[in-house]
């Protein structure tokens, strides 16, 4: 496959509008002023945290319903991960093929599809647990993994494009901080929820804890879905004068010595 350009053609002139480089503090300040990037980071971060949390608590969610044997339990996570590899590869190929003609709005369309599909397929997973259907559980896990892991193929590219004129490393680092922070606290909360002391002697309490866990995970996916509806491409972003105003830069600070190469 041919290497795609570092900057999308439609944004090349946009990036060249900024005749100066920015340090990390200035870049971070600009990201906080970039509403599109904040919504993208929130949505993608929530989606990634869902993946981390769900794979951690999957077995603990299934065991209380007592319809999956120990032999089958070990395959649940494998099915979820394997389908995600397939889904992520397909989405990466589609982005490579259609991005030059569709532009970065394609990132938004894929993100909408991933979030909405993950939400619906997770509802199907919860339904399979209460119906105690092993076939439906395998199918819904495969479908959920196929859809939700594709976020890794879209999120980082989307954040890098929308984070301009910041360096990619800064934009992607902030996105990763959001994802890992939400995932860390979500895993802690769900582990506590699934292993509360009153559930050790009451099967019904076990199932109720799984229900509450499902509510938390579905809420994460719902917020991730809604967040992207606030992303708008009507604005071309901040121009040079707006950046100088935000960062308190004078005209003399934007010299040709700092011009992007």
Q: Can you spell out the DSSP letters for 162-205?
A: HTTTS-HHHHHHHHHHHHHHHHHHHHHHHHHHHT-GGGGS-HHH
Distance separating alpha carbons of residues 83 and 144, to the nearest angstrom? 8
Q: Would the pTM count as exceeding 0.95?
A: no
User: How far apart are the C-alpha atoms of 47 and 217, rounded to whole Å?
Assistant: 10
Top-confidence residue, 242 or 230: 230
pLDDT band at 241 (very low <50, low <70, confident <90, very high): low
Compute the distance between CA of residue 122 and CA of residue 54 in angstroms, rounded to an integer.
10
Specify the pLDDT at position 245. 60
Confidence at 238, pLDDT banded by 50, 70, 90: low
Which structural domains are found in the chain, ordered by start? 22-255 (1.20.1250.20)
pLDDT-wise least confident of 6-10, 63-67, 170-174, 204-208? 6-10
At 166-208, the pLDDT tens digits run: 777 888 888 888 889 998 999 999 888 887 655 455 555 688 8
pLDDT at 139 over 90: yes
Residue 260 pLDDT exceeds 50: no
Residue 246: the pLDDT is 59
Distance CA 111, CA 108 (A): 5
Q: How far apart are CA 206 and CA 195, in angstroms?
A: 8
C-alpha distances out from residue 72 to 59, 85, 136, 195, Å: 10, 20, 13, 22
Average pLDDT over every residue of 112-134:
93
Question: Which of 15-24, 38-47, 192-201, 219-228 comes out lowest in average pLDDT?
Answer: 15-24
């Amino acid at each position: 496959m041919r290497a795609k350009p570092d900057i999308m053609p439609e944004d090349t002139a946009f990036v060249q509008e900024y005749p100066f480089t920015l340090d990390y503090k200035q870049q971070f300040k600009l990201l906080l002023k970039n509403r599109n990037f904040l919504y993208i980071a929130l949505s993608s971060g929530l989606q990634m945290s869902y993946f981390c949390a769900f794979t951690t608590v999957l077995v603990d969610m299934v065991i209380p319903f007592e319809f999956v044997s120990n032999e089958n339990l070990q395959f649940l996570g494998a099915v979820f991960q394997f389908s995600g590899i397939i889904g992520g590869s397909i989405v990466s190929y589609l982005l490579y093929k259609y991005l030059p003609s569709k532009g970065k709005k394609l990132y938004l369309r894929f993100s909408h599809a991933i979030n909405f599909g993950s939400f619906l397929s997770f509802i199907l997973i919860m339904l399979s647990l209460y119906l105690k259907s092993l076939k439906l559980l395998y199918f819904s896990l495969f479908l959920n993994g196929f859809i939700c892991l594709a976020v890794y193929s879209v999120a980082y590219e989307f954040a890098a494009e929308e984070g301009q004129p910041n360096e990619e490393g800064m934009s992607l680092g902030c996105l990763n901080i959001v994802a890992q922070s939400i995932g860390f606290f979500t895993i802690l909360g769900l582990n506590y929820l699934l292993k509360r002391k009153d559930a050790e002697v009451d099967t019904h309490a076990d199932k109720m804890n799984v229900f509450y866990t499902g509510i938390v995970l579905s809420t994460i996916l719902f917020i991730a879905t809604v967040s992207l509806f606030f992303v708008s491409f009507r604005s071309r972003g901040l121009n040079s004068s707006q950046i100088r105003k935000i960062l308190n830069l004078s005209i003399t600070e934007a010299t040709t010595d700092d011009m992007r190469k």
